[in-house]
């Protein structure tokens, strides 16, 4: 298990039980108590847990139903028409011939891969199997797809871990198209899994500009791991379900808001 995988599993374990002793966690994850102690120190710095004598307690509330990471098939079925509309708009508005674009594997962004056939020349970088599969029929000598490699997460269909993060530190995109499972003004854009968010953060650093695609049903939802704040993106593409309050906050931040 990668350190970030263990860190995520520790949070899930403590959220489920409320707290646990060092020995319980050491036995559960098959590592030394010293290793568990280092992980807990990092989580305490992030104010996710509190160390107690011989163990730790979870500071957040136990996840409510629907706040766990959904299956990819459920995500694909949710608001499908809106996601396809946002994806088509983004492909036509923000991508030009000869661009190098990075697409992550969110169900809204992955639909963009099918909408790029009008371009004669394009290089696509991605961490997602679904994105690659959608772009595959368009591949030719001038339209190229490059997958980052790494450890495949079955639940999200994404490549994660050090190899994936290193890939995006070595290659640079004109535009990154990104999504998330939640957005609030306080927490920014959030996802349930640390491994995925670490790759997304590496993707943000690699891109000249970042376009966030987010259907309005995700506004007001908050998940465990932060992906980005409004300061990290250049454009926000959403649908007409966005509230006036959210619209005002986004526009006041200086981010270019597109309501499709």
The predicted-structure confidence for 23-68, as pLDDT tens digits, reads as follows: 999 999 999 999 999 889 888 877 778 888 789 988 754 444 335 5
126: nearest Cα among 88, 78, 159, 84: 159
For the segment 133-151, the average pLDDT, to the nearest whole number, is 96
For the segment 230-249, the average pLDDT, to the nearest whole number, is 96
94: nearest Cα among 80, 115, 77, 76: 115
Q: Is the pTM of this model over 0.85?
A: no
The token duo for 132 is 């690659």
Is the pLDDT assigned to residue 228 strictly greater than 60? yes
Domains of the chain: 3-58 (1.10.10.10), 72-259 (3.40.50.1360)
Tell me if residue 159 falls in helix, strand or coil.
Answer: strand
Decide: 30 and 6 in contact? Cβ < 8 Å. Answer: no
């Amino acid at each position: 298990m990668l350190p970030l995988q263990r860190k995520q599993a520790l949070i899930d374990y403590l959220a489920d039980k409320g707290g646990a002793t060092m020995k319980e966690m050491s036995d559960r994850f098959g590592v030394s108590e010293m290793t568990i102690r280092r992980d807990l120190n990092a989580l305490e710095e992030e104010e996710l847990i509190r160390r107690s004598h011989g163990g730790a307690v979870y500071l957040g509330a136990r996840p409510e139903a629907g706040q766990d990471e959904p299956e990819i098939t459920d995500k694909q079925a949710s608001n499908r028409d809106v996601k396809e509309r946002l994806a088509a708009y983004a492909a036509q508005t923000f991508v030009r011939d000869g661009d190098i674009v990075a697409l992550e594997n969110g169900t809204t962004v992955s639909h963009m891969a099918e909408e790029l056939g009008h371009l004669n020349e394009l290089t696509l970088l991605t961490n997602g199997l679904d994105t690659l599969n959608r772009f595959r029929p368009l591949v030719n000598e001038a339209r190229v797809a490059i997958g980052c490699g790494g450890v495949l997460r079955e639940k999200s269909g994404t490549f994660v871990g050090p190899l994936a993060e290193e890939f995006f530190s070595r290659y640079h995109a004109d535009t990154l198209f990104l999504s998330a499972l939640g957005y609030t003004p306080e927490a920014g854009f959030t996802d349930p899994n640390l491994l995925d968010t670490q790759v997304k953060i590496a993707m943000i650093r690699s891109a000249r500009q970042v376009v966030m695609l987010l259907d309005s049903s995700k506004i007001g939802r908050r998940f465990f791991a932060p992906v980005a704040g409004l300061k990290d993106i250049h454009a926000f593409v959403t649908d007409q379900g966005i509230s006036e309050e959210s619209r005002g906050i986004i526009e006041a931040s200086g981010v270019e808001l597109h309501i499709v």
